[in-house]
Amino acid sequence: MSAALRLGTRGSPLALAQADLAAAALCAAGVESEVVVVSTRGDEAPAAPLAELGPGAFASALEEALLAGRVDVAVHSAKDLTGEQPAGLVLAAFLPRADPRDAWCGAAASLDAVPAGARVGTSSLRRCALLARLRPDLELVPVRGNVQTRLDRRAADGLDAVVLAACGLERIGLDREIGFRFAVDELVPEAGQGAIALQTRTGEEDGAAPADHAETRGAVLAERGVTRRLGGGCRVPVAAHAHAVAGGWRLAGWVAAPDGAAEARAEATGPDPASLVDAVVARLRAAGAERLLAEAGA
């Protein structure tokens, strides 16, 4: 009998919930596993702005543990994997995607019902830029920490709301905090948002592969294809989202100035998401994405 796969994860309640989902998916496929907690740079500096922490704030420690052989599978929020895969590692599986939308956690039931000048907590460049375009009257307040910490900041800092990923709230039983969910065309989701990725060492994919969900894999890889081709990330908000539509798929991409003053949007539809990446990237560049990236030094 083979040894149980060691699943590396961050120690936050959400990360542990995601590791449990990975373990359940592997168990359903006949694969035994156990959870190993790994501390990451993002966890060790909970007050630091994400832009200062740089890429890999949550993923790199898990990847280091994987390369060192301390774990067999790294369990990631797919949206945290913003760059190229490190040499020797591969994305072996994606679990079925949960709700990719962003959620308003406050009293209002729609953005139109949010009072003028409301104070909103988020440290995401993407969310800040999109909210600034949708409602320039809002006061955006930096907020970091795990899901419960950010929810608690509403009262502590006198905020009207915080904006979080709907899937994360659902996974830890806090979806009751959601006032409303933004449409994907209002707040374009982060590439991979809602998906859990299982990363392994190259050549050892077979252990996690039974849990792979092909539709989620196709969507997330297409989204990553758009954002990786454009760059940006920590300095320029870039996002992409793929979803099934009648007769095929729609892939949308978005790039903006950090303050939301200007943006570029593009989309394409076709039979599969991978075939749409080139068209979306070309249309974004034609719409001004290159200028926005250059101006921000990305």
Sorted by where each starts, the structural domains of the chain and their CATH numbers stand as 5-96+194-212 (3.40.190.10), 102-181 (3.40.190.10), 224-295 (3.30.160.40)
For 37-70, what is each residue's pLDDT tens digit? 998 765 555 554 554 544 456 788 999 999 999 9
Residue 2 has pLDDT above 70, yes or no: no
Q: Which of 62-71, 202-211, 233-242 has the lowest mean pLDDT?
A: 233-242
Given CA atoms 21, 18, 128, 156 in this order, what sign does their dihedral have? Answer: positive
For 111-148, what is each residue's pLDDT tens digit? 999 999 999 999 999 999 999 999 999 999 999 899 99
* Pair 152, 131: CB distance under 8 Å: no
H/E element, 198: strand 196-201
Return the higher-pLDDT residue of 50 and 5. 5
Residue 197 has pLDDT above 90, yes or no: yes
pTM of the model: 0.91
For 64-99, what is each residue's pLDDT tens digit? 999 999 999 999 999 999 778 899 999 999 999 999
H/E element, 265: strand 263-270
Query: Catalytic residues, which ones?
Result: 80
Pairing of strands 119-121, 5-9: unpaired
Query: Residue 201 and residue 197: Cα distance in Å, rounded?
Result: 13
Query: Residue 135 and residue 117: Cα distance in Å, rounded?
Result: 9
Residue 1: predicted pLDDT: 44
Contacts of 4 (CB under 8 A, 6+ apart): 32, 33, 34
